[in-house]
Amino acid sequence: MTAAAAALLTLTADPRYLGARPGVLAVLHTWTRALLYHPHVHMLVTAGGLRGPDRTWVPPTHAAFLVPGRALSRLFRAKVRAGLRKAGLLDQASPTVWRQEWVVHVQHAGTGERVLDYLARYVFRIAIVNSRLERFEDGRVTFRYRDGRTGTTQRCTLDAVSFIGRFLQHVLPQGFSKVRHYGLFSPSRHDLLAQAPAQLVATTTSPSPSALPPIDPAPVPAPANPASRRCPACGIGVLHLVEILPPCGPSP
């Protein structure tokens, strides 16, 4: 988690990408849908940050991404290697690991309610919930999960001891924080976080309601293909059709 945050904050400090300090929420998960051991970190990052002594809010330099994924993956690999060396654990990793390309999954998380929904589902999720347990018969437990490759529902049946063992490997040590905060969200930077909302509002350039053009009360049908409503510049934002203006002809 420390290596992931350090790699991300190093790149966001680069003016080529952001040149500012974003807020970072990191969540550790250790499982796959089938309860196998697979430690990985989810990170939710603000689309912008505070920059400079005046602490102004700045958006990313590139509209389509916050930082480049390939650069982030290589920097993350270097941070992990340095951390293992510092902890005296580097010899436990195969040398071939450091010669391979690493991959970090980067995607736009959305805004508003979509991000709140993500937080509600992921931040304090446990390895398995009761609704996925289907049967307990003859000392064997059956639970269902969704296959990540095919998207189909699969079922796994284990004897009770194996199931309990598979579940308990995801119980973190007492006192271990599975949710951590970095950048603007760091507990030591409450002063910056308090200024961020005001700075964010100050940089909003939306026109006032009185300046908006009148809207025809008749609804405008949306395009049949949702992809056609994507912003042609960044491919992320969604275009909302408000009004269709007729072409301007010569004056009568």
pLDDT digits (tens, 9 = 90+) for 231-252: 665 555 666 677 777 766 555 4
Residues of the chain falling short of pLDDT 50: 205-224, 226-227, 252
The pLDDT, as a whole number, for residue 189 is 81
The pLDDT, as a whole number, for residue 202 is 67
Angstrom distance (rounded) from CA 8 to CA 186: 14
| Strand ranges (E), the chain | 23-31, 37-45, 49-51, 56-58, 133-137, 140-146, 153-159, 179-183
Q: Scanning the structure block, which residue is given the tokens 């958006």?
A: 59
pTM: 0.71
Q: How many other C-beta atoms lie within 10 A of the C-beta of residue 22?
A: 24
Angstrom distance (rounded) from CA 150 to CA 153: 9
The pLDDT, as a whole number, for residue 244 is 74
Return the closest-CA partner of residue 178 out of 77, 40, 86.
40
Angstrom distance (rounded) from CA 207 to CA 209: 6
Q: How many other C-beta atoms lie within 10 A of the C-beta of residue 30?
A: 16
Write out the two tokens for 96. Answer: 């071939």
Per DSSP, 21 falls in state B
Angstrom distance (rounded) from CA 238 to CA 232: 9
Angstrom distance (rounded) from CA 205 to CA 225: 29
Please, are residues 22 and 67 in contact by the beta-carbon 8 Å criterion? no
Angstrom distance (rounded) from CA 45 to CA 27: 12
Return the closest-CA partner of residue 72 out of 133, 136, 24, 33.
24
The pLDDT, as a whole number, for residue 114 is 81
